[in-house]
Amino acid sequence: MDALHAKYPFFEGARDAVAGASASLPELVAADAPAVDRARERVERALLEGTVEPEAGAFGGSAVDVDARAELLSYPIARILVSLLDSQPAIEKYAAAEASTALDRLRADLERDDGLRSTPTPTVDLDDVLAEFDLSEAVRAEPTRGSHDPSHYRIAVGPYLRLSSPSWGDSWRLVNRALADGAVRVSREELLEALGAAIEARVREGLPFELEAGEGIAAELESRVSELKRLLSERTYAGPIDIVAPELFPPCMENLIGKAERGVELSGPESFALMAFLVGIGMSPDEVVAFCADTSLDAEGIRYQTEYLADDRGTQYPPPTCETLSNYGICHNEEDHMRVAADPLSYYETRVNDADGDEIVDWREEHGGGVEAESGGEAESGDEAGVDDGAATEAGEPVEK
């Protein structure tokens, strides 16, 4: 089995490899093969962390990787798992994570020197990916001097509009682009982002599968689906509480904050629970970064996860229930607080409502100056960039993202 198929399981060649595998998916699931556990991890990490890389480390498809077969077969099983979650937001998150991971792998492949192609790590080049998505005729590289890789490309306007979105920013709007002979000028990185959209669309295609619950492969995967649902705790809230009063936080969140303040690294479920709670009470990514400034949590990681949890597609996930947190050793039901509420946000909302409003001091009122200064600095930088973009557009040059 080609390790490259495991690295890019959405390629047509990988689909053929799965179809020709010696063991069927129902047999693998019934036998609880390694691919099943990897599939569950794939979905869990996609929904919680925005990646499908193995927890043990990035899969490179090299000869030293443990099990390329399990990695490849985990992909179709993961698609079944996410279908059984019966959640459109989960499908969107999963597809986005698969695409993001694939782009990271593609960038790494493209950075490899041609002279190192004899290494045991199989790689693809840009032409391979363009051909995979029938874009070979739609994309052409701009000529370069010497042997340097092209820095810009021209992509036919039809595929450009199909693979990009104005929601990505003003720089992607056609009016701000250099357009000639029916082709749009893009940078190399922008072309990769457009390919990411093509990958995401392919992963999302056909999901969810129509599977009868309690029968066949769905029945075999029932325990795995239950684990994921407990962890994700798919519930809805009317809206964020929008007040930050740390003294009223539930004990489990206080414990996680205290642990991070002592310099202890939080596990994936712990970090997810804390970030989902802080986003759920209305904190912005900048505010969460400032709030966790003196902890073991990395600012870049905080920003990525909070933006991921509170994106603009309505796919936010609230923190897990107290019962699920208890299963992960996060919640210890201090003072029998589960009798008050079944989840951290409900518990916090109850405490806020019961407290004297005149005595509650919002953390942001005391620390807002620092947060605003940080945000303001970023805005100022963005404004300057906007002036440069406009000047570039007037000069007839494309706006770089």
Tell me the CA end-to-end span of the chain in Å, nearest whole number.
Answer: 39
* Domain range list for the chain: 3-204, 233-359
84 HSE (CA, 13 A, CB side): 28
Q: At what angle do helices 34-49 and 68-84 cross, to 10 degrees?
A: 60
- Give the DSSP H/E element, type plus range, for residue 187: strand 183-187
For residue 396, the SS3 value is: coil
User: Of 124-133, 308-317, 332-341, 349-358, where does mean pLDDT reach its minimum?
Assistant: 308-317
The structure tokens listed for 305 are 């996860």
pLDDT in tens, 154-164: 999 999 999 99
Q: Which of 162, 196, 154 has the alpha carbon at shortest distance from 178? A: 154
- Write the single-letter amino acid at 342: A
% of the chain at pLDDT higher than 70: 82
Q: Which of 202, 272, 201, 262 has the alpha carbon at shortest distance from 231? A: 272
Q: What is the pLDDT of residue 392?
A: 35
* 115 or 208, higher pLDDT: 208
DSSP string, 270-293: HHHHHHHHHHHTT--HHHHHHHTT
Task: Give 243's DSSP letter.
Answer: -
User: Of 8-12, 87-91, 128-132, 272-276, where does mean pLDDT reach its minimum?
Assistant: 87-91
Q: Are strands 179-180 and 183-187 parallel, antiparallel or unpaired?
A: antiparallel
The structure tokens listed for 212 are 């009868």
Query: Which residue bears the tokens 């840009």?
Result: 126
Mean pLDDT over residues 275-286, rounded? 89
User: Of 7-21, 133-147, 360-374, where does mean pLDDT reach its minimum?
Assistant: 360-374
pTM over 0.75: no
If 0-12 CB within 10 Å is exposed, 13-18 middle and 19+ buried, where does residue 359 land? exposed
- Give the DSSP H/E element, type plus range, for residue 218: helix 216-220
The structure tokens listed for 106 are 């593609």
pLDDT in tens, 333-381: 887 777 778 788 888 988 898 888 778 889 988 876 445 434 444 433 3
Q: What is the pLDDT of residue 366?
A: 83
> Which CATH fold topology does 3-204 show?
Transcription Elongation Factor S-II; Chain A (1.20.930)
- Write the single-letter amino acid at 332: H
